[in-house]
Amino acid sequence: MGLWSRKSIALLQAEAAAEGQEVSLKRALGALNLTMLGIGAIIGAGIFVLTGTAAAQYAGPAIVLSFVLAGLGCLFAGLCYAEFAAMIPIAGSAYTYGYATLGEFVAWIIGWDLILEYLFGAATVAVGWSGYFVAFIKELGINLPTAWTQAPLNVIGTHTLVRNLMCVAPDGTAVAASNGACAAGVLTPGMINLPAMVLVGLMTTLLVIGIRESASFNNVIVFIKVAIVVLVIGFGFMYVKSGNWHPFIPPNSTGEFGRFGWSGIVTGAGVVFFAFIGFDAVSTAAQEAKNPQRDMPIGILASLAICTVLYILMALVMTGLTHYDTLNVPHPVFVAIAAAGPALAWLGVFVNIGAILGLASVVLVMLMGQPRIFYSMSRDGLLPAVFGKVHPKFRTPYVTTIVTGVVAALVAGVFPIDLLGQLVSIGTLLAFVIVCLGVMVLRYTRPNIPRPFRTPLVPIVPALGILICGFMMYGLPHDTWIRLIVWMAIGLIIYFAYSVRHSRIRQDPGLAGD
């Protein structure tokens, strides 16, 4: 058996059917739970942070078209995910799909790559949550020490990680130091982002207790934050000034690629793509779905469609309430509402609550996805057996959940959000490309295998998914590619040092597919 050995789909399906065993996960999720998990993962930083930044810097009011483009790329990938999730309802998402279609080596690359999406994604959103939380409690009169809410590392330009120094003014406000000095106030080093670490710890504890409890908690949060988003859209449209939408596509007056004009729409799509990261986390819960053949496609596609519509409407409202160049702030929704005057002032508190709850549920779903990938990789022998342990009472992969939570908490406490965000985006896009490729390969190598859900218009849909996601990868900064290559090199060392010698498919060729 070599690097390209494929796992038998028939055996994967038999493994998925094994229920009631101590080593199996608990099937407790229906279509509604899966859809809510998807919405919980998607609605977060995209609406509450990225929309304003991308509109102000890249696309103007045409950020709406950027969301359409990014949504299309995710739709094509989502259709491919839906086919695999219904056909192979096993925990592990794209890792498992790659193992069944493209071989063990590609599966390892995907599994290692997905750590960038889920584990680092949870850390990234936790850092964003920390900023909203600290600002919210400050309005309540509670001031946390800056040293305990800032990462000790920061990024200078796109190359260098340095010590994070903050200027703390007498009124308690903190801004980045300039050349290591403060015009006024005290120079304070960031020590650790404690709120982000606490959030990750709480979400990890909930996930260890049980998938049903985690899903119920997520359902409540999703209901609240969607209600708040709908409130902003509904009442915001009443105060829109259509003049703010003109010109809808601001001209590219500088000649710089990606700075307004049609190139700005494309660049904006690459930026707001982060807003869609997470819908594929639904597929990691396939082994915990009650009726995966029916419910997995519903959960993936329904959550993606609902969130895309909400993103487009929110982008229209925000750029209609205020001029796009005012939205380049950490809290653009709040700025847009404030521009409407006292009439919408009452929405400000709800927006902050929605952001805090929304980002918390994203962290929950991201932390749910990563352990299930580790679980599948361990069951295949590519990681130590301890990673495949299931709690005898809670029926959750508790060891990998705890490991994921501890690492995510440390990363969130130490690293800055911009560095983490770029790593998450490139890791997710690579996974999408491989899943789309896997659907094309399997249609030609195994055309007669039963497919409860079929991706339409193959090979057109997966090919478009590959092109759009690949194009967005191309647009990411050069240094992000370097970090991806370094990360993959580390993964290859682990694979050839450990996984090759412990792979179950190599020890038992009967597990291989034809």
pLDDT tens-digit readout, 383-438: 898 888 887 777 788 888 999 999 999 988 887 666 676 677 788 888 888 889 98
Please give the tally of structural domains in the chain.
1
Alpha carbon of residue 184 to chain centroid: 39
CB atoms within 10 A of CB 477: 12
Q: Is residue 189 part of a domain?
A: no
User: What's residue 32's pLDDT?
Assistant: 85
Please provide the DSSP assignment of 216-256 as one string: HHHHHHHHHHHHHHHHHHHHHGGG--GGGGSSSS----S--
Q: Is residue 513 part of a domain?
A: no
Q: What radius of gyration do the chain's Cα atoms show?
A: 23
Q: Which helix (H) or strand (E) segment is 209 a member of?
A: helix 194-209
Residue whose C-alpha is closest to residue 343's, from 234, 249, 418, 238: 238
Q: Which residues are CB-neighbours of 54 under 8 A, at least 6 positions away?
A: 63, 66, 268, 271, 272
Tell me how long the chain is.
514
Q: Is residue 175 part of a domain?
A: no
Q: Is residue 122 part of a domain?
A: yes
Q: Could you tell me the CATH number of the domain that includes residue 262? A: 1.20.1740.10
Q: Which residues are CB-neighbours of 350 under 8 A, at least 6 positions away?
A: 228, 231, 232
Q: Is the pTM of this model over 0.95?
A: no
pLDDT digit string (tens) for 448-500?
888 888 999 989 999 999 998 888 787 676 777 888 888 899 999 999 999 98
Q: Is residue 173 part of a domain?
A: no
User: What's residue 187's pLDDT?
Assistant: 46
User: What's residue 158's pLDDT?
Assistant: 45
Q: Is residue 162 part of a domain?
A: no
- List, in sequence order, every residue forming a beta bridge with 188; answer none if it has no partner: 166
Q: At residue 97, does pLDDT exceed 50?
A: yes
Helix axes 63-87, 261-272, angle to 10 degrees: 40
Banded model confidence at residue 353, pLDDT cuts 50, 70, 90: confident
Number of helices (H), then strands (E), in the chain: 20, 5
Say which residue the tokens 């040293």 belong to. Answer: 147
Q: At residue 316, does pLDDT exceed 90?
A: yes
Report yes or no: 149 and 195 within 8 Å, Cβ to Cβ.
Answer: yes
Distance between CA 335 and CA 502 in Å, rounded?
55
For 380, the domain range is 9-134+195-505
pLDDT digit string (tens) for 254-293?
777 778 888 888 888 877 877 777 777 777 777 777 887 7
